[in-house]
Amino acid sequence: MEELYPRSHIEIDGTLARYYEQLLNLITLGKYSKFIENAIQAMDIQPEDRILDLGAGTGYNAEYMVKYLNTGGRILGLDISRVGIERFRNKFQTNPSVRVENRRVDKPLPYDSEFDKVLTSFVIHGLPHPARENLIKNAFKALKPGGKFFILDYGEFELSELPLHVRFPFRAAECEYAFDYISRDWKAILVDFGFSPTGNQKYFDGFTRLLEAKKQSG
Ligand SMILES: C[S@@+](CC[C@H](N)C(=O)[O-])C[C@H]1O[C@@H](n2cnc3c(N)ncnc32)[C@H](O)[C@@H]1O
């Protein structure tokens, strides 16, 4: 995997990508899968939705999203992790509606007004800000007018507000970009890129959240 941002902690591959979900369930004492299930439910996925998942990893979120689709629905995941892509393909080898491609989400993408929903889950916090802006531009362009962009990631908070048992692991595990991410006004950023914020569902007391924004039509 080509690493463009050596100081980022999201360009994961190898063993970490292989055991990603298990590790997160361990760290959250088994709460991770329920959290993802609830967040995906909050996306209000319709049976024929076309969904683009930016930084789709091993297809863990896609496993929850696909349950809402009928044969007309589609999921396209993009990622750069060799192990992540291999695991994603193995999970959906019998379902041609769910595919993954090896593409960077912070470089211009070819999709234009094709998707009803774009999700990015625990990717954007780990990118330098100009790369995040490229990801947001990609999401905007890929969405149909009126389509929804979902950012599932950390909330906005001061590190000092976190309880100690969360603050220390966050400080130890996260990269400098994540510290920058939690301090920004993400609704305002999305407005600057032509979105109107439509939802802000908090989980784990606001430590994580599902931010939802609509691509303005016209
Ligand atoms: C923390 S994992 C999250 C995976 C998945 N979205 C989830 O929530 O389970 C971050 C993922 O982003 C991918 N990634 C990091 N930088 C990327 C980039 N520039 N383009 C595409 N994928 C990227 C990594 O390979 C990894 O699979």
**Mutation probe of ligand 1 site: the residue of 7, 8, 9, 11 with most atoms within 8 A of C-beta:** 11
Q: Give the pTM.
A: 0.94
Ligand 1-lining residues (CB < 6 angstroms): 10-12, 55-57, 60-61, 78-81, 84, 104-106, 121-123
Query: Cα dihedral angle (179, 183, 187, 192), rounded to 10 degrees?
Result: -90
| CA 218 to ligand 1 center in whole angstroms | 31
Retrieve residue 30's tokens. 């088994």
pLDDT over threshold 70, residue 171:
yes
Give the C-alpha separation, 159 to 104, whole Å: 30
Mutate to test the pocket of ligand 1, among 5, 79, 86, 91 (most ligand atoms within 8 A of CB): 79
How many CA atoms does the CB half-sphere of 37 hold within 13 Å? Answer: 6
Tell me the pLDDT tens digit for each residue of 69-115. 999 999 999 999 999 999 999 999 999 999 999 999 999 999 999 99
Residue with the nearest Cα to atom 19 of ligand 1?
104
3-state DSSP assignment of residue 215: strand
206 CA from centroid of ligand 1 (Å): 22
What DSSP line would sit under 20-73, residue for residue?
A: HHHHHHHHTTT-HHHHHHHHHHTT---TT-EEEEET-TTSHHHHHHGGG--TT-
Architecture of domain 27-215: 3-Layer(aba) Sandwich (3.40)
- 200 has pLDDT over 80: yes
Residue 218 has pLDDT above 70, yes or no: no
What is the number of the ligand 1 atom nearest to the C-alpha of 105? 20
Residue 26 has pLDDT above 80, yes or no: no
What value does the mean pLDDT of the chain take? 93
Q: What is the pLDDT of residues 109-159, one digit of tens each?
A: 999 999 999 999 999 999 999 999 999 999 999 999 999 999 999 999 999
> What's the pLDDT at 89?
97
Q: Which atom of ligand 1 is nearest to the CA of 107?
A: 19
Do 81 and 54 touch, CB atoms closer than 8 A? no
The pLDDT of residue 12 is above 70:
no
Radius of gyration of the chain (CA): 16
pLDDT at 169 over 90: no
Domain residue ranges in the chain: 27-215
